[in-house]
Amino acid sequence: MATYSAPTADVSDSASIGDGTKIWHLAQVREGAKIGAGCVVGRGAYVDHGVHMGNNCKIQNHALVYAPAQLGVGVFVGPAAVFANDMFPRAVSPDLTLKGVDDWNPEGTVVGDGASIGARAVLVPGLTIGAWAMIAAGAVVTRNVPAHALMVGVPARQAGWVGKSGKRCEQIGDIWVDPDTEQKFEEVDGELQELS
């Protein structure tokens, strides 16, 4: 399946774009970015140099994914979400001279397979977002997120668990159940583990 880049998209010749990926109007994909097969990069989205994305990711309109972010397979990034990468942002050094690329060390976020980042959510640098986690729209995530966690608010706090369907799991005794897939989990030491 062929890739597609809108004529108005800015895609570096050194970016690696997987089969069937679509890059829409005014999106920018920087040098050295690696985007898997079957992905969608929406209008006005920004994928920084060296960002890696697995297959079947969706980066919605105006989302900003800064290096060195690493996204697993099937990650959803909602409209205008921001992956920040500088823990101590300053335009200038203490002597008021303009900072250059060598004056800071970017920290990326790692996002597990199937996770979803809601519209206008902000991820501070250096986080790990577990597989199948759900970050609510507008949340500001300041700490690592376990797999399947539902995170809401500013700063984001855990408000439950979600299954692979994205629906909130229902607690039945000591077991958590995805209402759509009927997949069952147990909570062990603050982590959700799938039952076979």
Residue 31: CB atoms within 10 Å: 12
Q: Check whether residue 131 and residue 184 sit in a common domain.
A: no
Q: Check whether residue 43 and residue 58 sit in a common domain.
A: yes
Q: Check whether residue 150 and residue 135 sit in a common domain.
A: yes
What local confidence, expressed as pLDDT, does residue 31 receive? 97
Task: Specify the number of domains making up the chain.
Answer: 2
Is 135 within the bounds of a domain?
A: yes
Is 136 within the bounds of a domain?
A: yes
Q: H or E element: which one contains 170?
A: strand 170-172
**What gap in Å lies between CA 19 and CA 13, rounded to an integer?**
15
Q: Check whether residue 152 and residue 170 sit in a common domain.
A: no
Low-confidence ranges of the chain (pLDDT < 70): none
Q: Check whether residue 41 and residue 67 sit in a common domain.
A: yes
CATH code of the domain in which 133 resides? 2.160.10.10
What local confidence, expressed as pLDDT, does residue 2 receive? 85
What local confidence, expressed as pLDDT, does residue 22 receive? 98
Is 94 within the bounds of a domain?
A: no
Q: Check whether residue 48 and residue 117 sit in a common domain.
A: yes
Q: Check whether residue 114 and residue 195 sit in a common domain.
A: no
What local confidence, expressed as pLDDT, does residue 196 receive? 79
Is 115 within the bounds of a domain?
A: yes
CA distances from 78 to 65, 87, 118, 121 (A): 11, 22, 5, 8
Is 172 within the bounds of a domain?
A: yes
Which residues, including other chains, have CB under 8 Å from residue 67's CB and lie 6 or more apart?
Answer: 30, 48, 49, 50, 51, 85, 106, 108
Q: Check whether residue 113 and residue 187 sit in a common domain.
A: no
Q: What does the DSSP assignment read for 88-140? A: S--SB-TTSPBP-GGG------EE-TT-EE-TT-EE-TT-EE-TT-EEPTT-E
Is 46 within the bounds of a domain?
A: yes
Q: Check whether residue 133 and residue 71 sit in a common domain.
A: yes
Is 100 within the bounds of a domain?
A: no
Is 97 within the bounds of a domain?
A: no
Structure tokens at 170: 């229902």
What local confidence, expressed as pLDDT, does residue 128 receive? 98
Q: Give residue-wise pLDDT tens across range 116-129.
A: 999 999 999 999 99
Structure tokens at 151: 């995170």
What local confidence, expressed as pLDDT, does residue 12 receive? 97
Q: Give residue-wise pLDDT tens across range 93-120.
A: 999 999 988 888 899 999 999 999 999 9
Domain housing 194 = 164-196
Q: Check whether residue 168 and residue 118 sit in a common domain.
A: no
- 60 within 8 A of 42, measured Cβ to Cβ: yes
Q: Check whether residue 144 and residue 126 sit in a common domain.
A: yes
Q: Check whether residue 122 and residue 178 sit in a common domain.
A: no
